Amino acid sequence: MIAIMSEQIVAHLRPKAVAEKSFAKGEYLFHRDDPVRKLFLVTSGCVNLVRHQADGSPAVLQRSTPGTVLAEASVFSQRYHCDAVAAMATQALLVPVVEVRRLLERDLSFAAKWIAHLSHELQSARKRSEIASLRTVGARLDAWTAWNDVALPTLGEWKGLADEIGVSPEALYRELSKRRRSGTL
């Protein structure tokens, strides 16, 4: 159902795109405090919304993958509140924010789908917040698995999982190794 909502939102926004841009791994799509002028529709790759903590460590606020809207909460903001960094080679369609606002004002069907999408994103943010509040890597991993109702990602995606649950890749690898040894993985 959520995938269908995203597809419908993207279908509305795709014709409004003014460009498609490629981003290399590690390249910024935008920086914190940049003016919000465009909305990004990720067509390939992955982009992380990141806010750096006082100690310099990154907190991943959102992972946008193909078919998703990046930083949709910024549509009515003047400036971005975090950085957007390509986690791998990425392509995105760029849609002027004024076009998104115009659709929200004039197209009730789109506005209803947008509201449903934002509600889902709020639920996801609350899940991530709950995971981050858990003390151990094991508890975070268990919560992520339960809430996502999926098997663990493949080996090449473990770093992304570590980012998502707010632990170092090394801590996640140790936890997975411990589970493998005990037969619970």
Domain termination site, one of 107, 127, 147: 127
Considering the domain architecture, whether residues 67 and 156 belong to the same structural domain is answered as no
d(CA 73, CA 34): 14
Q: What is the structure's pLDDT at 3?
A: 52
Please tell me whether residues 120 and 142 are part of one structural domain: no
Which domain range does residue 90 map to? 2-127
CB atoms within 10 A of CB 154: 8
Structure tokens at 112: 């209803």
Distance from C-alpha of 13 to C-alpha of 8, rounded to nearest angstrom:
9
CB burial of residue 34 (10 Å; 0-12, 13-18, 19+): middle
141 shares a domain with 80 = no
Counting the structural domains of the chain, the total is 2
**pLDDT tens track of the chain, all 185 residues?**
345 557 788 888 999 999 999 999 999 999 999 999 999 999 999 999 999 888 887 888 888 889 889 989 899 999 999 999 999 999 999 999 999 999 999 999 999 999 998 998 888 888 888 998 999 999 999 999 888 877 788 878 888 888 888 898 999 999 999 998 998 87
- Taking CA atoms, 130 is separated from 46, 50, 148, 164, in Å, by 23, 18, 13, 12
